[in-house]
Amino acid sequence: MQKEVIPILDFGSQYAQLIARRVRENGVYSELVRPDIPADKLRAMNPKGIILSGGPSSVYEPNSPKCDPAIFDINVPILGICYGMQIGALVLGGQVNPAKAREYGRARLSVISDDPLLHGLEGDMTVWMSHGDQVQQLPEQFKPLATTPTCPFAAARHRERPFWGVQFHPEVTHTPRGQQIFQNFLYEICKCSGDWTMGNFIDQTIARVREQVGDGKVICGLSGGVDSSVVAALLHKAIGNQLTCIFVDNGLLRKNERSLVETTFRDHFHIDLRTNDASEQFLHHLKGVTDPQQKRKIIGREFIEAFKREAQKIEGVEFLAQGTLYPDVIESGHGYAGTAANIKLHHNVGGLPAELGFELVEPLRDLFKDEVRKVGEMLNLPESIVWRHPFPGPGLAVRIIGEVTKERLDLLREADAIVLEELTAANLYRKTSQVFAVLLPIGTVGVMGDARSYDSVVAIRSVETTDFMTAEWSRLPYEVLATMSSRIVNEVKGISRVVYDISTKPPATIEWE
């Protein structure tokens, strides 16, 4: 079944992915495409409607992104957002000029004309502005729909063609009623049926995987993270015992991680799971290494070697599954309109496709992270896996500042386990985005019993974020932090001090290395 699709021409907006997510949240599949996609390719997608995103450029700059003017002849509804409105107005005869001052922030929008796009939004409402140019003059063919004190045409539509434009950003949370605008566009104007559900996605993906794989064998690099776990569960549902999962124990895992993965996938799902214990190999090659990038390179290289050794024991494998997500496709720079060739490789697979010559199976490449979690829930993966916080591919190696040794790994493992135990006990795990402990390369003086000690320092990092591109440090309750600190110092021999990281991203990153 051909799913309904709303292509989004991406003019470089920082919110482009957010537009796609808002459309999908309303039950309609959306896909980001190049801004200069030819009209005939767009028409071939059989879109129910088209959205033109915002962007940082001025429409009059020589190298600013432009769209094919013929898209306005496709005769499907088009919604232009900010820069997208300016492009549409310009192509259709309007005039765009620099605003007297760049508008950035909240504004009061007044609806002045009845229209399906703004149905149910009559009166005034708060919207988020972020633009330097704006439409200053509307041709006769346009009808103004809404205004703000500084923007005379904050929303407008063409009287004859199905083009609507808004100068503000309905996709951001700072426009509280923006979701209503998307619902109006998708259902009142585009007449979508809303058939994009995770249940439909699972059924369609299973059919697609069976068609691609046939009776061939597939191997999947399983890390225990959300993405690879959902891939494994989805493929097992599709092809059963044609799937073999390989779990590489690199010795850099969290406490009880290997046990969780083996119990979940081998015992609960009855998946053919092969575990390769390469912990000594990894530690040997990390000996004496302190540079973060060097650590990552060594771990990536050794992972490929360990995975290859295990994969070569399985006869007749033709396919390699990995957990590429839609943001990976987009961020590769080649992911538009089905032309993705340079996919960012999953951190636990690295360069394996080229190394082993397998054909890739990427069942999640159309999904955002929140959609992956929904699929995991529908496949009955345990909550401890579906909602687990992100964990870096190099594991605890990049949460140990300085050299990685077995002793330092054991210290961090115990401290990190205490942090997560207390976070969960306080019912804060699902309310935070990523929480972990970091072992610092310093010792400080302390008192243990009646004796002075000179032991290690652990930092606790806790952040809240919606996209992991920016993050705010969590205001964890003092009593929770006090319990974490007390337990770590008293239960983990070798740690005498605990500190709390209160840095935002940017300028800091979430991980320390």
Question: For residue 150, with 0-12 CB atoms within 10 Å meaning exposed, 13-18 middle and 19 or more buried, which class applies?
Answer: middle
**Residue of 4, 31, 67, 82 marked active site:** 82
Determine how β-strand 124-137 pairs with β-strand 95-111: antiparallel
Instruction: Tell me which of 495 and 469 has the higher pLDDT.
Output: 495
Averaged pLDDT for residues 432-442: 96
Cβ 239 vs Cβ 218: under 8 Å:
yes
Instruction: Give the max Cα distance, the chain.
Output: 87
* CA nearest to 19, candidates 163, 193, 181: 181
* Residue 192: both structure tokens together: 């979508």
Is 347 a residue of the active site?
no
Contacts of 218 (CB under 8 A, 6+ apart): 235, 239, 242, 243, 244, 317, 318, 319, 320, 321, 361
Q: In percent, how much of the chain has pLDDT > 70? A: 90
Query: Looking at 112-178, which runs of residues are DSSP E strands?
Result: 124-137, 142-148, 151-158, 163-166
Q: 203-216 pLDDT, tens per residue?
A: 999 999 999 999 99
SS3 315: coil
* Residue 219: both structure tokens together: 């191997």
Q: Is the pLDDT of residue 221 over 70?
A: yes
Q: 114-133 b/e with 16+ CB inside 10 Å = b?
A: ebebbbebeeebebbbbbeb
Averaged pLDDT for residues 153-182: 92
Residue 99 confidence (pLDDT): 61
DSSP string, 415-436: HHHHHHHHHHHTT-TTTSSEEE
- 303-307, 432-436, 485-489 — which is least confidently predicted? 303-307
* Residue 323: both structure tokens together: 């957990």
Q: 39-60 pLDDT, tens per residue?
A: 999 999 999 999 999 988 887 7
**Residue of 171, 302, 371, 422 marked active site:** 171
Residue 78 DSSP one-character state: E
Cα distance between residue 185 and residue 203, in whole Å: 27
Query: Looking at 352-392, which runs of residues are DSSP E strands?
Result: 359-361
Residue 107 confidence (pLDDT): 87
DSSP string, 79-92: EEETHHHHHHHHHT
Cβ 375 vs Cβ 234: under 8 Å:
yes
* CA nearest to 103, candidates 61, 138, 81, 133: 133
Q: 350-395 pLDDT, tens per residue?
A: 455 566 678 999 999 999 888 999 999 999 998 888 999 989 889 9
Averaged pLDDT for residues 181-201: 95
Is 245 a residue of the active site?
no
Read off the pLDDT band of 479 (50, 70, 90). very high
Residue 20 confidence (pLDDT): 93
Read off the pLDDT band of 452 (50, 70, 90). low
Q: 13-44 pLDDT, tens per residue?
A: 888 888 999 999 999 999 999 999 999 999 99
Phi, psi (degrees; rounded to nearest 5) at 436: -165, 170
* CA nearest to 223, candidates 241, 246, 242: 246
> Other C-beta atoms within 10 Å of 62: how many?
4
Three-state secondary structure string covering 450-500: CEEEEEEEEEEEEEECCCCCCEEECCCCHHHHHHHHHHHHHHCCCEEEEEE
Cβ 331 vs Cβ 430: under 8 Å:
no
**Residue of 169, 236, 346, 347 marked active site:** 169
Determine how β-strand 434-448 pairs with β-strand 451-464: antiparallel
* Amino acid at the residue 98: P
Is 82 a residue of the active site?
yes
Q: Which sign, positive or negative, has the C-alpha torsion 48, 49, 53, 58?
A: positive
Residue 338 confidence (pLDDT): 38
Share the mean pLDDT of the chain: 88
Cα distance between residue 404 and residue 409, in whole Å: 7
Q: Which residue in this structure is represented by tokens 């002045």?
A: 112
Q: 49-101 pLDDT, tens per residue?
A: 999 999 888 877 788 899 999 999 999 999 999 999 989 988 888 777 666 55
How many alpha carbons fall within 13 Å on the CB side of residue 68?
A: 16
Q: Is the pLDDT of residue 476 over 90?
A: yes
Cα distance between residue 358 and residue 356, in whole Å: 6
Report for 128-137, 235-244, 256-265: range of highest mean pLDDT = 235-244
> Other C-beta atoms within 10 Å of 445: how many?
10
Phi, psi (degrees; rounded to nearest 5) at 239: -130, 5
| pTM of the complete model | 0.81
